[in-house]
């Protein structure tokens, strides 16, 4: 019997209609397994921070301008030299075959077709080289969970560099996983093929499957930034920044970018919504390095608000997983295209011709 996945790496794909990003969750729940849906959808503890990520956008108001001569807004932008059709990023998410058989290959193709940035997790279910081959020169970044085993880290960095990764995103806020009750109730653990670990194990002896990431490094420090940059020769972006002092310290230690995120509310519950922390962090960064932001983005207006408060690139996570589940790579593209449509409307109605105009937009916040 022919393996359909090998014959068609993208699996079954379907065009999907997107009314709004929020409604995708309920639709995806119907096609995903209970454990898979719980893993993708949940936050930690009581879910306060996950919910606040989105509700905090209600405390940000845009001040629109009129008679600005805007026609057919241009949302194209450049990030670290890469040209993008829109300032959107597929935020790094583990094990995308949980959502669809194509996994990261579908995510990469959807991102490429939409003209946005793709990032791949260390815990990917497809190899770095295969994912990058689908990207085929489209902008691509690799996210690193720092292992204790430096030889495995070298392997990951080598693979990412050979694949043409634009930068390495070091996740710093996940030295332990948050407490997620749906996983406990469903007796669910991240399963399936962890392709990057398998690729390393294939050339090693005495390395148990999954063993390395039971030994993930918990004691992270600023010296890692230079170590990773010196070995890889790639820019290092620090993900999980929620405090201005950490942003300044990371930059002083050599970070080439700051990634404002609370991991989608999956780590420390009780932290503020990510957008609440962005203005102070952006002020501390003061344009020295680019800023990526993610956390609760479900609308084009959310993207504009994040850009106006200091972000250069805006990550979206769960909605892309749901789009992948519903339609494969076409579902990913449909989610991106819907967001781009909403961004276009918001730019027109706020009087912004370009993304640089968005970044100069006047904003009011009601943050404490």
pLDDT tens for each residue of 137-163: 899 999 999 988 899 999 999 999 999
Check whether 174 is labelled as a binding-site residue: no
CA distance 89 to 79: 10
- Any known ligand binding at 49? no
pLDDT of residue 89: 98
Query: What's the pLDDT tens digit per position in 94-119?
Result: 989 999 999 999 999 999 999 999 99
Handedness of CA 184, 320, 265, 29 (dihedral sign): negative
What pLDDT is stored for residue 219 in this prediction? 84
187 is in an annotated binding site: no
For residues 14 and 332, what is the distance between their CA atoms, to the nearest angstrom? 10
**pLDDT for the residue numbered 197:** 73
Is 51 a known ligand-binding residue?
no
Mind telling me the catalytic residues?
A: 263
* 94 marked as binding residue: yes
359 is in an annotated binding site: no
Contact 197, 287 (CB under 8 A): no
Tell whether 317 is in a known binding site.
Answer: yes
Q: How far apart, in Å, are the Cα atoms of 356 and each of 76, 118, 164, 166?
A: 10, 22, 27, 22
User: CB count, 10 Å around CB of 292?
Assistant: 28
Rounded alpha-carbon distances, angstroms, from residue 185 to 34, 36, 99, 192, 217: 10, 12, 20, 19, 27
DSSP letters along 162-209, please? HTT-S-EEEE-S-SSPPP-HHHHHTT----S--HHHHHHHTT-SS--T
Q: Is 354 helix (H, G, I), strand (E, B) or coil?
A: strand
**Any binding-site annotation on 39?**
yes
Q: Output the pTM of the full model.
A: 0.93
CA dihedral 333, 335, 339, 340 (to 10 degrees): 10
Q: Could you tell me the domains of the chain?
A: 4-365 (3.20.20.70)
* pLDDT, mean of each 10-residue run, the chain (368 residues): 48 88 97 92 91 97 96 97 97 92 95 97 92 91 92 94 96 85 82 70 48 62 97 98 98 98 93 97 98 98 98 98 96 98 98 98 90
The pLDDT value given to residue 190: 72
Q: Does 236 appear as a known binding residue?
A: no
Whole-angstrom distance, CA of residue 234 vs CA of residue 228: 8
Q: pLDDT tens digits for 53-77?
A: 999 999 999 999 999 999 999 999 9
């Amino acid at each position: 019997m022919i393996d359909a996945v090998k014959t068609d790496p993208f699996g079954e794909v379907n065009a999907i209609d997107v009314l709004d990003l929020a409604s995708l969750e309920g639709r995806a729940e119907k096609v995903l397994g209970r454990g898979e849906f719980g893993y993708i959808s949940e936050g930690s503890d009581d879910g306060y921070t996950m919910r606040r990520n989105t509700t905090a956008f209600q405390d940000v108001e845009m001040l629109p301008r009129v008679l600005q001569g805007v026609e057919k807004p241009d949302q194209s932008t450049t990030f670290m030299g890469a040209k993008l059709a829109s300032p959107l990023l597929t935020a790094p998410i583990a094990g995308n075959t949980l959502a669809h058989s194509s996994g990261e290959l579908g995510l990469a193709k959807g991102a490429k077709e939409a003209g946005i940035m793709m990032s791949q997790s260390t815990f990917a279910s497809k190899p770095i080289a295969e994912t990058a081959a689908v990207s085929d020169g489209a902008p691509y970044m690799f996210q690193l969970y720092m292992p204790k085993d430096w030889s495995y880290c070298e392997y990951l960095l080598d693979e990412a560099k050979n694949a043409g990764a634009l930068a390495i995103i070091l996740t710093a806020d996940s030295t332990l996983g948050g407490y997620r009750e749906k996983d406990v109730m469903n007796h669910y653990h991240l399963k399936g093929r962890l392709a990057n670990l398998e690729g390393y194990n294939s050339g090693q002896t005495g390395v148990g499957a999954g063993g390395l990431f039971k030994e993930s490094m918990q004691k992270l420090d600023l010296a890692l930034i230079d170590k990773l940059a010196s070995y890889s020769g790639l820019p290092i972006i620090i993900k999980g920044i929620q405090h201005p002092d950490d942003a300044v310290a990371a930059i002083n230690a050599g970070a080439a970018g700051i990634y404002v995120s609370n991991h989608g509310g999956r780590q420390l519950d009780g932290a503020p919504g990510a957008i609440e922390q962005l203005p102070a962090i952006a002020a501390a960064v003061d344009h020295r390095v680019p800023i990526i932001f993610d956390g609760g983005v479900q609308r084009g207006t959310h993207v504009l608000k994040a850009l106006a408060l200091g972000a250069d690139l805006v990550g979206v996570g769960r909605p892309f997983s749901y789009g992948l589940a519903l339609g494969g790579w076409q579902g990913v593209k449909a989610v991106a295209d819907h967001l781009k449509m909403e961004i276009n409307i918001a730019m027109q109605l706020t009087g912004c011709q370009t993304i640089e105009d968005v970044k100069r937009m006047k904003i009011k916040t009601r943050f404490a």
